Each structure stands twice: as structure tokens, then as C-alpha cells.
Amino acid sequence: MISVHDISIQFGEERVFEHLSCEVKRGDFACITGVSGCGKSSLLKALIGLVPIGGGDIRICGHDMNEKTCNIVRRAVMYLPQELSFPSETINEFVAHIQKVGRVKDVHKSIKQLYKNLSLLGLEKEILDKRMSEISGGQRQRLMLATLALLDRELWLLDEPTAALDEASRDLVINFLRTKQQDGKTIVAVSHDVCFASHCSTLIQLG
Amino acid sequence: MGTIDISYLSLCVGLLLLLIPIYYIWRYETKLLKAICVGTVRMVVQMLFIGVYLRYLFEWNNPIINLLWVFVMVYIASETALIRTRVCRSILMMPLVVGFVVASVLVGLYFLGIVLGLNNVFSAQYFIPIMGILLGNMLTVNVIAVGTFYSTLHREQNLYYFLLGNGASRSEALQPFVKQAIVKSFSPTIANMAVMGLVSLPGTMIGQILGGSTPNVAIKYQIMIVVITMSASMLSLMIAIKLSSKRAFDGYGRMRQVFKKGN
């Protein structure tokens, strides 16, 4: 599913990492770990061409990542960043925006799936009527995961999906991801959480 | 009904009114003192020059000279927008020029040729003031909107990359930023439109009435001025954003250095 060969990432004079090679197979649940600042999030972004690489190559979802294929790859991928300030005032607006981005045709079916995802992640469906500013960081993280899951992409790239969560919520997220893995999704998550990493089938250690 | 001339001495007496804002600007240490003094001097000098060259433009009434003059105004407006938004010249200059030219020509000629039904749309008496008012408004809107668009995009890059990373096209990922730019730049104009005639009597209308037109003619011109300035401003803004965003991103959709270094 992902094959990274001899890539380096550098921001100006600052070298983040170099000569990295790794592989993630279809159906894997992989975790990218390492100390802060070692380039975990940058690697995740580089996989979908959001961060430039210096040398080497990336093959992802059956395509060599380049200017021509990046849009095709991004439509096969779900990307959950660690932090996001979404401009929508209400959560319903956020959901509608994601459905639009994902070109969701059957909105009714999509909303039913969203209710199911929210329930699996320990959230009430009434949360959809709230404003973004009214929910906590942990709720926001789970809400985004539940909503982005509607995109139904084959590869999930998640940046610290359990960072703002307590133990109980973290377990819900892990179970949710494992269920999706069993449904055939490939999951690659950045995490410095040892417990989270222990549930993953592949570890990619940076730094 | 003629217009009463203002002698240069009376003009100087009138300018004394500026002492009121100048006093409060000085009193509250707003650091705007130099700006208002320079602004006032520039305004007076520039307007005196306008008086001179408009006299010649009206005398010659030559379509080519009038068009050339509009291109000079477009260039000055583009340079001004470039300085105020602080966006790199290589990204914004050409899109601004194209936006200003296309919008002013299309909307201006539509008004002069179709709405007013002029035989000679390049007649200096109509062509120069209409292009002037269009460019002035387009400049204001573009400075606010383009500045908002790029500064918000720069500040909230994570949102743009989030949308792009989830398969949105570049224009889809830019949509929230275009929306903010439109809201910020057009809200004051729309609010003004709603109270026009009730709270404010706009400049064009006042000018025409002072110049001897009947209120009936003046209001129709005023309505059309609001319509053409809004249309041209939106058209020029969309062209500027569309064309500049082609230069502001690389082949992967990643943002290039948009603002001039040192800002």
C-alpha cells in the first residue's frame, strides 16, 4: 500500500530526517513513533505530497507520488491532522463540508453511518446540533474521525488520533480503528502513545 | 442652476476644518499624525494636477489618449494594491492588472454603451470619470479582499492542507478563504446600500445635484454607480484571486512564499 524509499525531509537549513525507507502493506495497522520533532507528522504529510521530499521516492495506493498523481492519491486517502481550526460555526456545517469534499451522493445513508460512527466513538448524535466552540478537544478529535470515516477511503493517515483523549476514549478510538482495519482499511497513525502503539501490527520508528 | 465656485482662499479656509481630526490624532498619540499630514498634502497636490490634466483630456477628447490614461490608472491602482497587500509582485501584479482591465472595460462599456446608450463610449466626459470611480472601488475591494485571502490562508494553512489532503481540488480547498475575503470586503458596501438615501446621501448624487442635475437624474446615476462598482469589484477580485492562486502554489498545491520577505 505504501512504499517509501530513501527519502529525506529538510525545512530550509533544518534537516528533519534523511535516507528513510519503510513499507506498509495493505490491511496493516501501522504506527509511526519517535521523539518529538523527529519528523513523524512531516512523514505523514510527505506521503500525500503536502511536504516536499529531498530525493528518494514514494509509492502509495498504486501510484508513484508526483505532481500528476497527487490528486488521485489524495482521493484514495483520508487524512486527519493533529490540530485544525475549522471555520464552520456549527458541527452540521462541518459535516456538510466534508460530505461535499468527499462527493458523497447518498447524504441520508451517510448521516446514518455518521450516527453509527459517533456511537462507536462514545459521542451522542445530538453533538451535531452544537457549535464547534461548545465541544472539548477530545470530543472534537473523535467527531472529526467519525466524520472523515464517511469518506470511505482505503488508506487512513492519522496524526496523533488519541492525543487529547482520556483512557476510556482512547480505547474507543483504538477499537473503532481495529474494526475499520478488519473491514479492509489500511491505517497509518502517528503516535507517541505507547499503549496505542502496542495495538498496531507494524511499527515505523523515526529518530 | 449653476455651481458656486470655491476660491483658493475659501478652499484654504475650508481645509482648516481638518484641524479637528488632526488635534485628536495628536492628542491620543495615535501615530497617525504624519500620515494625515502627508495624506492631506498629497490629496491637494494630486487634485490640483487632476484639475489640469482633466481639462486637457476633455479638450482633446481623443479615444486613444483616454484609453491610455485608463491604462495609467490601472497601473497605478495595481502598484498601490501590491504595496498595501504586501504580496509578491511575481504572484499578484499581472492578475491585478488583468482583473482591473477586464472588469473596468466590460462593466464600464456595458454601462456607457448599453445603459446610457452613448454613441461614443470613449467620450472623455463620461469615460474618464466612470473608469475612475470603477478603479477606485476595485482598488479598495481588492486591497481588503486579496489581503484577507492571502493572510488568512497563510495563518490557517492547516485547514487548506487538511482539505487538499482529503482529496479536495485546489479551488475547493481555497473556498473557505475566498468566502472570508468576499465577506470582509463586501460587507461594508452591502450595509451602505441598505441605508442609502435614508442615512447617507452618496457622493455621486450630491455631486450631480450641486452640478445642476435634477434629483431624479441624480438618483438614477447613483443607483447605476453602486451597481457597476459592485459588479466590477467582484469581477476584478475573482480574476485576481483565480490568476494569482495559479502562481501562489506549486504542482502539488503547496503554498509558495506569498508575502514579500521581511514582512
SS3 B196: strand
Helices B215-247, B170-195: crossing angle, 10 deg rounding: 160
| Per-residue pLDDT band at A89 (split at 50, 70, 90) | confident
Strand order across the A186-190 sheet: A77-80, A155-159, A186-190, A29-33, A202-205
Contact B232, B62 (CB under 8 A): no
Which of B158, B172, B179 is facing A81, going by the closest CB pair? B158
Contact B182, B230 (CB under 8 A): no
Which residue, A95, A184, A186, A80, is CA-closest to A147?
Answer: A95
- Cα separation, A47 vs A58, whole angstroms: 7
pLDDT value of position A104: 87
| Per-residue pLDDT band at A87 (split at 50, 70, 90) | low
Q: Does pLDDT of B135 surpass 90?
A: yes
Q: Which residues of A touch B249 (CB under 8 A)?
A: none
- Cα separation, B157 vs A84, whole angstroms: 10
The pair phi, psi for residue A109, each rounded to 5°, is -65, -40
- A191 vs A86 pLDDT, higher one: A191
Q: How far is B166 from chain A (nearest CA, A)?
A: 5
A85–chain B Cβ distance below 8 A for any pair: yes
Contact A29, A183 (CB under 8 A): no
Q: Which residues of A touch B252 (CB under 8 A)?
A: 49-50, 52, 67, 70
The DSSP H or E segment spanning B104 is helix B89-109
Arithmetic mean of pLDDT, B186-214: 84
Contact A159, A192 (CB under 8 A): no
How confident is the prediction for chain A on average, in pLDDT?
Answer: 91
| Per-residue pLDDT band at B260 (split at 50, 70, 90) | confident
Contact A32, A185 (CB under 8 A): no
pLDDT value of position B114: 96
With CB atoms and an 8 Å threshold, state whether B164 touches A148.
no
Percentage of chain B surpassing pLDDT 70? Answer: 98
| Per-residue pLDDT band at A82 (split at 50, 70, 90) | confident
Interface test with A, best of B155, B183, B252, B261 (most A CBs within 10 A): B252
Q: Does pLDDT of B180 surpass 90?
A: yes
| Per-residue pLDDT band at B203 (split at 50, 70, 90) | confident
- Cα separation, A181 vs A163, whole angstroms: 20
Whole-model pTM: value is: 0.87
Closest residue in chain A to residue B171, using alpha carbons only: A101
Which of B159, B161, B172 is facing A50, going by the closest CB pair? B161
Q: Could you give the C-alpha distances from B72 to B57, B62, B227, in angstroms and in order?
A: 14, 15, 24
Contact B166, A78 (CB under 8 A): yes
With CB atoms and an 8 Å threshold, state whether B166 touches A45.
no
One-letter amino acid for residue A168 of the chain:
A
B180–chain A Cβ distance below 8 A for any pair: yes
Q: Which residues of B touch A75 (CB under 8 A)?
A: 167
C-alpha cell at B191: 450595509
Print the domain residue range for A169. 2-205
Number of domains forming the structure of chain A: 1
Arithmetic mean of pLDDT, B229-256: 95
| Per-residue pLDDT band at B236 (split at 50, 70, 90) | very high
CATH number at residue A82: 3.40.50.300
Beta bridge partners of residue A78, listed in sequence order: A156
Interface test with B, best of A80, A101, A157 (most B CBs within 10 A): A101
With CB atoms and an 8 Å threshold, state whether A75 touches B159.
no
- Cα separation, A23 vs B205, whole angstroms: 71
pLDDT value of position B194: 87
Q: Does pLDDT of B262 surpass 80?
A: no
- Cα separation, B51 vs B54, whole angstroms: 5
- Cα separation, B224 vs B233, whole angstroms: 14
